[in-house]
Structure 1
Amino acid sequence: MNLIHIVERLFEQYGYLVLFIGLPLDFIVLPIPPGNSTLTYTGYLAYKGVMDTATAFTAALTGAILGVTITYGIGYKLGMPLIDRYGRWLSLKPSLVEKTRRYYDKYGDKLLLVSFFIPGVRQFIGYFIGIIRVPYRKVILYAYTGTCLWVLAFFAIGYAFGEQWHEVFALVEKYVRVLFAAAGCLLLALILFKWRMSRSGK
């Protein structure tokens, strides 16, 4: 049974509860059901009239924001104490966390708007911004906005393309991976270039 069939079976049995429970689980590194396909199938069910559009979208957004909030809270409350106590075994020193936080202060807020579209990153971003103690007002402004964009985008695929949602979803998943892989390579190249320039300057 593939992931799409799992999502369909879950909706048959639990309806809106899949959104309130399943989407938070997607953020807590237990992506069953997987977030992207869950949202797209929710949009499709709204298109079919099986689910009320406004209620389905609100439930999806609530579940996703709940997932971000829970993981942020876990990272904020438990992340640094664990690093202080066990970080040396994993080469994770408090000084490294502080250095990461400074980099985040320069570039990170805007990246939150797109990070939820990246599989694997979405499941860790809440913990990460909690560990480096991003202020909650910034979580509301950037993380919640990024979550809303993610929910809206995949919900819209299912709602707009209806019976063709499988094909469109597969294409989007494919090109999202390619796009972010290319962006990651470009970012790495820029970092290496700046590092070499700084070394040359010295």
Structure 2
Amino acid sequence: MHELEHYVMSIIFHYRYAGLFIMLMGGMIGIPVPDEFLMTFSGFQTILGRMNFAKTLLVAAFGSFMGMNLSYWIGRRLGIPFLEKVGPFLHFNEKKIKSAEHWFQRFGDRLIVIGYFFPGFRHFTAYFSGMSKLHYGRYALLAATGAFLWALTFITLGRILGAHWEKITFILHRYLVRGGIVLALIVFLIYLYSIKRGKASLED
């Protein structure tokens, strides 16, 4: 087990709900927190009677939701102009950024819920939802739904796995990271295809 995981376990052990809320909110902003590990361990604590299942679920879901909201508003305040400033370093020109913004406004909101389950991808959907000025009411509903389902999945998993929670979580995390990379690649290819099809329609 890495030092970070030991630190996370120590915080949950000593501060329980407050530690869970703060760390999940920070993790959604982009602070390197092993979110799935954190929630599965919290689920395991409910078996030991140190934490209540319903309260743990609500705190985890609310902490995740608040973090996703902060990310949304940071993205919205910084906006596309910020992305245009750093774009040249990421090989993004103004035309590509506008195309990405348009594409995300049309299709990206569908990724908000599923994006929770893939490390790194959830941060992209939160920040870019704000940058592309996705309607906040729709975003909040999807973010809240995703936060609840994500928390329910991993806290329940920790409760079901019992003493085996740690080993299974590390294996699962490895596959989720790979899945996130594949999902990002698929989204990127669909994005490129939509741009190419848009160019073809303009030429016609």
Q: TM-score range by the shorter chain?
A: 0.7 to 0.9
Match of 2:13 in 1: 12
What is the CA deviation profile of residues 90-119 of structure 1, one whole-angstrom value per residue up to 9, with x for unaligned ones?
465665443222211332121112111221
The residue type equivalent to 1:26 in the other structure is G
Residue 42 of structure 1, CA deviation: 1.0
Residue 29 of structure 1, CA deviation: 1.4
2:118 pairs with 1:109: no
Provide the rounded CA distance (Å) in 2 between the counterparts of 1:62 and 1:199.
43
Give the TM-score normalised by structure 2: 0.82
Match of 2:98 in 1: 98
2:47 pairs with 1:69: no
Aligned residue pairs total: 200
Residue 170 of structure 1, CA deviation: 1.9
CA RMSD of aligned residues (A): 2.9
Residues 83 and 94 of structure 1 are in contact (CA less than 8 Å); yes or no, is this contact kept in structure 2?
no
Q: For structure 2, which runs of at least 5 residues remain unmatched after alignment?
A: none
Percent identity at matched positions? 25
Provide the rounded CA distance (Å) in 1 between the counterparts of 2:196 and 2:117.
31
Bigger shift: 170-179 or 19-28? 170-179
Provide the rounded CA distance (Å) in 2 between the counterparts of 1:12 and 1:43.
12
Provide the rounded CA distance (Å) in 2 between the counterparts of 1:189 and 1:79.
24
Residue 154 of structure 1, CA deviation: 1.2
SS at match of 1:15: helix
Match of 2:3 in 1: 2
Match of 1:169 in 2: 169
Residues 76 and 127 of structure 1 are in contact (CA less than 8 Å); yes or no, is this contact kept in structure 2?
yes
Q: For structure 1, which runs of at least 5 residues remain unmatched after alignment?
A: none
Provide the rounded CA distance (Å) in 2 between the counterparts of 1:42 and 1:28.
20
Relative to structure 1, the CA distance from residue 129 to residue 38 in structure 2 (aligned partners, 3 Å threshold; closer, same or farther) is same
Provide the rounded CA distance (Å) in 1 between the counterparts of 2:95 and 2:192.
22
Bigger shift: 128-137 or 142-151? 142-151
Give the TM-score normalised by structure 1: 0.82
Provide the rounded CA distance (Å) in 2 between the counterparts of 1:83 and 1:24.
23
Relative to structure 1, the CA distance from residue 88 to residue 193 in structure 2 (aligned partners, 3 Å threshold; closer, same or farther) is closer
Match of 1:22 in 2: 23
Residues 157 and 168 of structure 1 are in contact (CA less than 8 Å); yes or no, is this contact kept in structure 2?
no
Residue 4 of structure 1, CA deviation: 2.3
Bigger shift: 166-175 or 179-188? 179-188
Provide the rounded CA distance (Å) in 2 between the counterparts of 1:148 and 1:141.
11
Residue 184 of structure 1, CA deviation: 4.3
Provide the rounded CA distance (Å) in 1 between the counterparts of 2:124 and 2:3.
24
What is the CA deviation profile of residues 172-191 of structure 1, one whole-angstrom value per residue up to 9, with x for unaligned ones?
11222333444445555666
Residue 200 of structure 1, CA deviation: 9.2
Residue 68 of structure 1, CA deviation: 0.6
Provide the rounded CA distance (Å) in 2 between the counterparts of 1:70 and 1:198.
33
Relative to structure 1, the CA distance from residue 200 to residue 121 in structure 2 (aligned partners, 3 Å threshold; closer, same or farther) is closer
What is the CA deviation profile of residues 17-70 of structure 1, one whole-angstrom value per residue up to 9, with x for unaligned ones?
1122111110121124x2111111111111221101111111111111110111
Provide the rounded CA distance (Å) in 2 between the counterparts of 1:192 and 1:89.
19
Residues 11 and 18 of structure 1 are in contact (CA less than 8 Å); yes or no, is this contact kept in structure 2?
yes
Residue 165 of structure 1, CA deviation: 0.6
Residues 43 and 156 of structure 1 are in contact (CA less than 8 Å); yes or no, is this contact kept in structure 2?
yes
